[in-house]
Structures are given as C-alpha cells and as structure tokens.
Amino acid sequence: MKNSDVARHFEEIGDLLEIQGANSFRVRAYRNGSRTIEDLAEPIASIAAEGEKALVELPGIGKDIAAKIVVLLETGTTPQLEQLREEVPPGVVQMLRIQGLGPKKVKALFKELEVTSLEELKAAAESGAVAELKGFGKKTAQTILDGIEHVEQAGNRYFISEALVPAELILEDLLKLDSVTQASIAGSARRRKETCGDLDLLATSSNSAEAMELLANHELVEKVLAQGDTKQRVRLRSGIEMDLRVVPDESYGAAMQYFTGSKEHNIVIRQRAQKRGLRLNEYGIFKDEELVAGKTEEEVYKAVDLPWIPPELRENRGEIEQAEEGQLPKLLELKDIKGDLHMHTTATDGTASIREMAEAARERGLKYIAITDHSKRVTMANGLDADRLRKHWAEIRKIREEFSDIEILCGIECDILEDAELDLPDDVLSEGDWVIAVLHYGLKQPGEQIMKRLLNAVKNPYVCAIGHPSGRIVGRRPGADIHYPDLFKAAADHGVFMEINAHPSRLDLDDIQAAAAKDHGIPIVINTDAHSTTGFDVMKYGVYQARRAGLEKKDVANTRTFKQFKKMLRTSS
C-alpha cells in the first residue's frame, strides 16, 4: 500500500468517529496520524518492516495507531474501519461536504431522520422534516438544499492555476478601490498547494460595504452565498467558492497568519504564544486583554520569538525548527530560472515549430532550452523513431545557428517501456544533448517492475533526467508505485537529475519527494513540458512546488548559466 492509501484509511476513521460524536482527542489523533503518513518521504511499509517501535517514533503515531498500521499493511484493512463503515453509510460522510453541516448536524440528520444519502437529505429538506429538527430551522434547510445542488462541484479541488487566476484578478480590482488600503490572497492558495478547495481574500478598508459590493457584482462571480458587514462568501463562475473578509488595520497581520494556515502550523504557533503567556487568534496577539501584536505577520512571528516564515513552508514539516535555528532556506524565485529542458514541437504533439518555441523562450528571458519531442512509443503523439529523430535533430542544429543569445539542445522525451527497455537504442540516444526518460504506460505495474524500469533508465549512460517521475495526474490519476529512496540513491550515484514538471496537472515530483531528492543531493530541473509558445507560462507553478519543498536556487540545475549547467551533465566529460 502507498503512503497516500494508508493516510486516507486513517482520515476516514477520523471522519466516521467524528460523525459518531467520539472524543475530539481521539478524532484528532487519527487525523494527525494520517497527515504524518501522507507527508513521509519514505514508504510507511519500509518503516513498519523495522517494527512497531520505529512507527511509534514518528510524530503523531502512538502505539494504537502503530499497531493498526501493521494490520492494515498485512491485510489491506483494519477491523475498526470495517466496523465503522457498517455503522455509518458513505452517504452520511458525504454530507460533511455541504457548507454549514458539521459532524453534530450530520449526526442529527443520520440518527434522528435516518438520512443516509444526499438524495434522502434533499427529500427531507424539501418535505420540511429538516426544518423541524432542533437546531436547524427553515434557513438551515434552505442552505442544505442550495448546498446539495453544488456539493459535487464545491467538493472538488481545483488546480492551483485554476484557483489563482480569478483570485488575482479580483484582488487586483479590490486594490483599485480608494477605500481598500491593503489586500491579499490567504489560505492554501497563498501556500501554493497543488490544489485548492476554496479561496480566501483578506482586506483592510475604510468602507467595507464598498469592498463587499465590488465582489458581489464582479463579473467572475456567479452567486453571492452569504453576506455580512465584514464577510462575504461567493461562488465564482469557475465553480470555486471564495470568502472575502475585511479586518481592522491592527489585526491584518494576525488575520493573514491565521487564515493562511496550515492548521498544523498554526497550532504550533498558538502553543508557542501560550507558553509565553500570550493569546493568539485572528484578531492579534494579546497579553491579557491588551493587543501587543497583529498589524503585520512579522509582528506575530516576532512575538513568539520566530522570524517571518514563508507561506509555502507553513505545513509543520520542520519549518519551525529551521526558523528557531536561523536556518530557513532562501527560497527559489521565478527570476532565478535560466533554462527550460522539456518541450514539444509540431514534430510530435506540439503546436509550434522549433523556431517559434525558441523565439518564445527567448522572449521570456530564457538562455537555453531543450527540444524534447516524444519517442515512438507515444503513437498518439506521432512519436519519433530513430530516423525521424535524427532528421529532427539535424533541423534543430541548423536552426540554432540562427540564435546567438539562446542555446537550443537536441533532446528527446524517451519512454521507459513496460519491459524496462528504453524506447530508442543507445547509439541514437548517444547523439543527443539531453535525454529525459519517462513513464507514460504501464503505470499500474507492480512496484518491483516499476522500479526495474526506472533503475534501468537511471543506469543508462545517456539518460540525463527522469521526467515527471510518478506519471500522476493531480487528483485524477495516481502515480506509479515507486520506492523513492532506492530511486534517489541510484540517481545520486549515477548523476541523473530529477524533474519537477511544472504543468499544474502534474507538478511531479511533488513537494515531499522534491525535498527528499534535495536531501539526496540530486539536482532538480524545473521544466514546463510546453506544447505551445504559451506553455512556457506554467513555469511559475513548478517554482511554487519547489518553494514548498524548501528548494533554494542552488538546488535547481536550470538556475545556472548554460556553461555551468552543461558541466553538470553526466555526459559532459
């Protein structure tokens, strides 16, 4: 089982226990355990193989959960979850996705009305049965009906690219108001997570009604869901929901810190405040009833004896300890990127020519690129066989003579076939400047075969990098079963780079594995996988992923000059 599978198992136990009204500490224990497992770079199965003692040493994993992990890995389930699933139908859990329905209300609907699905809930709300329940009423019943209509869409998570574009446009319009003195995106979008469930905007304003009116009437807004004097929730035309909060100037920094999250990071910050005799919430840091900090985030962190921590790192994965020791990384910036080493042209499935791609890259300030069209295995993309590839490379060499201010490498995105062979012979690959090996097919093969494929590619003397290593599509297709410690050790031993594919649907390596690759001393390359001249614009999402991994400029190979970069290649000698 993958770490994500084990984590989901314990997350589901937490959900079901919460609906049953279990002790909050017990519920929190399962959620914390789930997060610990999700964030592990090493397979949980490898740790479990060392015994329960090794599991208990992990943060958030006690003896009880450790024992359940062992059972889960051995049997594929746990008796506790099976029992909970018998007691709480899956449709009841789905109700938690409706805005305004917490575990207590869901429990009431389940126990008192015997509602077990969204369809039954809709019928109960329309009949008036929900409104008659204690603690509900007609307003809640209508909110439920509105929520059911959009629960599938609202429950979706949106790529960071889908979330940021409308958020930034609305933010820009808010800042044009004379009454708005400052405003910013908060939440998971500010932390640049791969996906966002909803959006948060914060602002300070001398006229909150004006800010509310702007959002309510904005062309990107489909419907106002709730509106008050200082808070408004809307649904955008894209389907994602957004909250706007107008806060006092003196609380802006505290609100930014609080609403940016993550929850796990904020718990630690709040505990640090308590140890110093302070009280922290979204309004500020208080000493008794006196506000002592809150206008800026820097004030908030200083009050708990920490430097300001970049939002991308706020996941409670060691950033607090780094901050205490003055070891926070100087995170990579988009302006640091000098090259892009994964892109396609009309030779396969791209929409622009070699020359057009080179010109577009040059316009964006890039100093070197690699044209990496598909190898023949990708038949749907008109992949290149040896003869076509050699002709393609000859054209690239001819065209690059026209460009004096950008280097153009002869590259190939070469498939690692299901039998672990590469899609093109070594005598062909040896003629290229840059070979990026990838998994496109057979992603559901057993982990042993997946590793054989990847390790064979790493050991091939002409492979420069492993591209989008897991082959996942974010939120839609799981990645291959990879034992990353073995892959990274081999890559480090053989001088092979690892890619962060910047396309928002891939972002592969993910942030956890990118951090692990850094720990192994493996150079990372961030590439766009551009299939058009506008495809270069996704580079920023790869940089966001690198920042979440704690990567600095020195950790990313394509921040170097071309001369420096070329010296890093295993084939350079």
All domains in the chain, ordered by first residue:
1-88 (1.10.150.110), 95-150 (1.10.150.20), 158-245 (3.30.460.10), 251-324 (3.30.210.10), 334-568 (3.20.20.140)
Identify the pLDDT of residue 196: 94
Is residue 520 a contact partner of residue 526, using CB atoms and an 8 Å limit?
no
Q: How many CB atoms lie within 10 A of CB 25?
A: 7
Is residue 377 a contact partner of residue 415, using CB atoms and an 8 Å limit?
yes
Is residue 314 a contact partner of residue 297, using CB atoms and an 8 Å limit?
no
Choose between 400 and 42: higher pLDDT: 400
User: What does the alpha-carbon distance between residue 345 and residue 357 come to, in Å, rounded to a whole number?
Assistant: 7
Share of the chain above pLDDT 70, in %: 98
User: Residue 152 pLDDT more than 60?
Assistant: no
Share of the chain above pLDDT 90, in %: 79
User: What does the alpha-carbon distance between residue 342 and residue 46 come to, in Å, rounded to a whole number?
Assistant: 33
Q: Please report which confidence band the pLDDT of residue 305 belongs to, taking 50, 70 and 90 as the band edges.
A: very high
Identify the pLDDT of residue 150: 60
Lowest mean pLDDT among 190-194, 224-228, 298-302, 514-518: 224-228
Identify the pLDDT of residue 18: 86
What single-letter amino acid sits at 112? E
Average pLDDT of the residues in 482-495: 97
Per-residue model confidence as pLDDT tens digits over 71-117: 999 998 999 999 998 888 878 888 877 767 877 889 889 889 999 88
User: Residue 573 pLDDT more than 50?
Assistant: no
How many Cα neighbours within 13 Å face the side chain of 316?
17
Token pair in block for residue 347: 């030779």
User: Residue 364 pLDDT more than 80?
Assistant: yes
Distances (CA, A) of 554 to 331, 484, 558, 565: 10, 22, 9, 12
Q: What is the mean pLDDT of the chain?
A: 93
Q: What are phi and psi of 5, to 5 degrees?
A: -65, -45
User: What does the alpha-carbon distance between residue 564 and residue 448 come to, in Å, rounded to a whole number?
Assistant: 36
Per-residue model confidence as pLDDT tens digits over 464-480: 999 999 999 887 788 99
Q: Position of tokens 């093109």?
A: 424
Length of the chain: 573
Q: Position of tokens 């995105």?
A: 413
Distances (CA, A) of 25 to 18, 28, 57, 59, 568: 10, 5, 20, 15, 51
Lowest mean pLDDT among 114-118, 216-220, 370-374, 507-511: 114-118
381, 391, 387, 443: which is closest to 413 by C-alpha? 381
Average pLDDT of the residues in 225-233: 93
Per-residue model confidence as pLDDT tens digits over 532-550: 999 999 999 999 999 999 9
Is residue 121 a contact partner of residue 109, using CB atoms and an 8 Å limit?
yes
249, 251, 284: which is closest to 179 by C-alpha? 249
Q: Running DSSP on this structure, what letter comes out for residue 558?
A: G
Average pLDDT of the residues in 276-291: 96
Average pLDDT of the residues in 135-153: 79
User: Residue 151 pLDDT more than 80?
Assistant: no
User: Residue 449 pLDDT more than 50?
Assistant: yes
Per-residue model confidence as pLDDT tens digits over 1-30: 778 889 889 988 988 898 888 888 898 899
Per-residue model confidence as pLDDT tens digits over 312-357: 999 999 999 999 999 999 999 999 999 999 999 999 999 999 999 9
Across 6-15, b (16+ Cβ under 10 Å) vs e yields: bbebbbbbbb
Identify the pLDDT of residue 458: 98
Which pTM was predicted? 0.84
Average pLDDT of the residues in 402-430: 97
User: Residue 212 pLDDT more than 60?
Assistant: yes
Identify the pLDDT of residue 148: 80
What single-letter amino acid sits at 323? A
